């Protein structure tokens, strides 16, 4: 399966790229508004993976071209760019594609980070409303620490909560998530439940900021 990570040059995009490229045999495509930046990062990630004795195939393209080449598109972009990014992909998407949204709306003040709930109810809902008819949207990977993902020596042992209204697409994303070693996917229901999941991200950041040794914490449900 071919996976495109739009915004794959950013922190969460890097972490997911490295884990997917290292732990799975999926072909990874990095997307960026700047195709040269995408190609440069793809080579950087490839070199990093191969230095660990693993083979991988990572390529880089402009966002639309990356999406056009993929079966699953991970929107590793800031929450405020979700709708605009999807709108630019309209000609690159087909009814068989799956969009994954890991974005969370947040704001920060002197007390820490806080969930900034959009008027639509959640960022995942924004993505679903922006997606072309027939293209499934699934929320996943919201609460994963980018630093922990990027450190391939770090044992994950954590969960990702997955929401979606298309059961088949949600099942596919759960399987993809569990291809990453140490990551367990838990079905959290439909997109109507996305706000509760997205709101965990600022909580985890605040806990990490205020407690030594917990900067890259995750969650595990037992």
211: its two tokens: 């407690």
In a domain, 192, yes or no: yes
Share of the chain above pLDDT 90, in %: 91
In a domain, 201, yes or no: yes
In a domain, 215, yes or no: no
- Structural domains counted in the chain: 1
pTM: 0.95
In a domain, 216, yes or no: no
Q: Which domain holds residue 102?
A: 2-210
Looking up residue 196, the CATH number of its domain turns out to be 3.40.50.720
Numbers of helices and strands, H then E, in the chain? 9, 10
In a domain, 222, yes or no: no
In a domain, 131, yes or no: yes
In a domain, 175, yes or no: yes
Taking only the tens place, the pLDDT of each residue in 148-204 is 999 999 999 999 999 999 999 999 999 999 999 999 999 999 999 999 999 999 999
In a domain, 35, yes or no: yes
What is the layout of strands, in order, in the sheet containing 58-62?
58-62, 27-32, 2-6, 72-75, 98-101, 136-139, 158-164, 183-187
């Amino acid at each position: 399966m071919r996976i495109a990570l739009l915004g794959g040059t950013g922190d969460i995009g890097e972490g997911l790229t490295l884990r997917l490229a290292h732990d799975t045999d999926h072909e990874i495509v990095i997307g960026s508004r700047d195709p040269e930046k995408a190609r440069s990062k793809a080579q950087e990630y490839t070199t990093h993976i191969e230095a660990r004795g693993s083979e991988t195939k990572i390529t880089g393209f402009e966002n639309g071209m990356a999406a056009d080449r993929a079966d699953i598109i991970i929107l590793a972009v800031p929450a405020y760019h979700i709708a605009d990014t999807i709108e630019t992909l309209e000609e690159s998407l087909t009814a068989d594609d799956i969009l994954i949204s890991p974005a969370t709306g947040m704001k920060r003040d002197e007390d820490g980070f806080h969930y900034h709930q959009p008027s639509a109810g959640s960022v995942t809902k924004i993505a679903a409303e922006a997606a072309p008819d027939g293209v499934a949207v699934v929320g996943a990977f919201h609460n994963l620490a980018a630093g922990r993902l990027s450190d391939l020596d770090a044992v994950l042992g954590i969960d990702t909560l997955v929401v979606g209204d298309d059961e088949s697409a949600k099942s596919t994303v759960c399987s993809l998530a569990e291809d990453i070693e140490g990551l367990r996917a838990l079905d959290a229901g439909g997109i109507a439940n996305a706000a509760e999941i997205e709101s965990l991200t600022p909580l985890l950041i605040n806990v990490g900021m205020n407690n030594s040794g917990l900067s890259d914490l995750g969650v595990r449900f037992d």
